Every structure is written in structure tokens, then in C-alpha cells.
Amino acid sequence: TIPALELVPGDIVLLEAGNQVPADLRIGETSQLRINEAALTGESFPSEKHTHPIESAGSVGDRTSMAFKGTIATHGRGRGIVVATGMQTELGRIAQLLEERIDVKTPLQKRLAHFGRYLALVALGICGIIFAVGVARGEPLIRMFLTSVSLAVAAIPEALPAVVTISLALGARRMFKAHTLVRRLPAVETLGSVTYICSDKTGTLTQNSMRVEEVFVDPANHSTFYTALALNNDADGDFGDPTELALLRAASEAGFDKTKLEQDLPRSTEFPFDSVRKLMTTVHEGDGTLVAFLKGAPESVFACCDGTLTDYAAHAEDMARRGLRVLAVASRELNASQIGRAHV
């Protein structure tokens, strides 16, 4: 273990769940390694890493054979070789972009500049006319020149910048009351003209922390439900997939501690989640019995269950319609011959 400051390209870095990636790495070995890249991509779900070369550089989220500085390993382990450090990393490039200052004038600044040029031309024209008329009437040249210059100076609105600044400051104060903080005053005028702001908020405006929002379970199955949430779960403490962390936290808040439950029902077999089954199954053995816990997409879970689940299906559809991410949980007792069957 060495300080990240001492890393140079070519060094080998070992990663495991809970580690923060210290530099940009090319993954050379992985065992179910998943990394939370929300700080770079805004994606709330961890990215699964592999060792296959990527044909095109693409975006950060598409480079699945790379691990980037500042991201966090949430599951599994891996080994990678350092390819970039410091400001040469993807995180460093973002820092460089933040340091670059691009002066873009707001609509108000553009209108004020146009107004200033127009006012200057008009003032100069009027002063020229007054000077010409005075000279034509026989007035001394010096007196008419001083008079024209005095009129030109008087025509310049010296208080205009101060008035604009005060107006923008008052606008910033009103926006602050609405929980909006601006770095530059001219932005107040632009934001005041905006109806909708569309932004990627995950990991920036939000904490990328999921939670169980709503539960629908038969009271008779209350204990089995929360036991399934705790045991059919690969999260460990504060590390793991955000969805599984949320489920583990819900079980803990309901009084079901994963560590204690695993002592009574240790995991004997597991069938990891995959895109075909859309299910995760764990089998636990205790007191001479086998029990399987299942979680996944509602339609996949319901297809494995016996009987009619119209009420559950209706609630799942209603939750999905309200924008919730819906998961279903099921359990059953098994005998040894049933382990490994597709319907488990």
C-alpha cells in the first residue's frame, strides 16, 4: 500500500470492493468487478468491468475495460495497470475544463453594449451639430469645443453600470431564497429567462443513494419478506450495488440483521443475476431444511410462482406507472433434487 501520489504509468494496482480507484487503469484481471462511475458518467448503477479490448475509445461509460480515477469499486476485485495519473486522467481533464474561462456575453450584456454604441453615436452627432451651429454664428472655436465636450460627457450614463449591478444583485438575492446560487451576476439575467433546466443530477446534485420507497407484502409474510431482502443480497455494510444496499438498509431498519440471519441460514448455493433470467437466487440451509430466496423483475418472479398473483401484479404495475423501480421477492422450501432447476 503506497500513496496514490507515488503511482506512475506502468504500476500494477489491485482493487477490491470499497477501494477508490487511485488513477486511470487498464483492467487486466477481473472477478465480478463493478465500479460506481457516477462522478464521471452520472450513471447510478455500477459499471461491470471486463478485460476485453474496446475497438473505439467512445465515451467514459463505454470503456468497460478501464477503471477511472476517483470512482469506487463496489463489488468484486480486479487488477489493472496505471495508464494515466494526475491531470492526464479523465477526472483531471474535467478539472482543466473547469479552470478554462470562456467569456460568453448574456443577452442583457449584448443589449447594453448595443445601447451604449447607439447612445455614443447620437451624442457625438448632437455635439457635432451644436459645434457647427455655434461656429456658424461666430462663437469662438475654443468655447464651442469645450461646450460640445461638456455635452458629450453629460450624455454618458455614468450610473448605468451601477444600476445594472444593483439590479442583478437584487435578482441574485431573490434566486438565493429559491435555493439557487450563481457564481457570476450576469447569469442571473439568463436564468431569469429560463422555464426548464435539464441537467444530469446523479452524483452531482444528488448523492446517488437509492432507498426503498414503498413495500407491498402480505402481513403473514412480513418476516419472510425482510429475511429475503437481507439474505438474497451481496451488499456488505456500505459497499455494494446501490439497489442491494437500499434493500439491505430496509431490512436492517425493519430489525432483520444480515449477519445474524446468516448464522442461522448460511448460503449454500447461489445463481447470480443475469440478463436472460432477470433473477437472482440464493439457497440457504438451516435446521435440516433448504430454502430458496428469489428476487428480480416482477414478471420473471411471477412466472416462477404457483397460483394467481393478480393483486401483486396490479400493485407492481401501479408502482411502475408512478415511476418507481419495482422488484419482486419470493421464497420456497426445497429438497436437494430441486437445486439447479430453471424454476428455482
Start-to-end Cα distance in the chain:
43
Query: What DSSP string describes 248-308?
Result: HHHHHHTT--HHHHHHHS-EEEEE---TTT-EEEEEEEETTEEEEEEEE-HHHHHHTS-S-
Angle between helices 107-136 and 160-177 (to 10 degrees): 160
The length of the chain, given as a count of residues: 344
By CB atoms closer than 10 A (0-12, 13-18, 19+), residue 221 is middle
Going by C-beta distance under 8 Å and a sequence separation of 6 or more, which residues neighbour residue 338?
344
Distance CA 217, CA 235 (A): 22
Going by C-beta distance under 8 Å and a sequence separation of 6 or more, which residues neighbour residue 202?
38, 42, 43, 44, 208
Distance CA 344, CA 342 (A): 6
Active site residue 24: no
Distance CA 314, CA 316 (A): 5
Q: Which of 62, 200, 238, 318 is catalytic?
A: 200
Distance CA 333, CA 61 (A): 41
H or E stretch covering 334: strand 328-334
Catalytic residues: 200
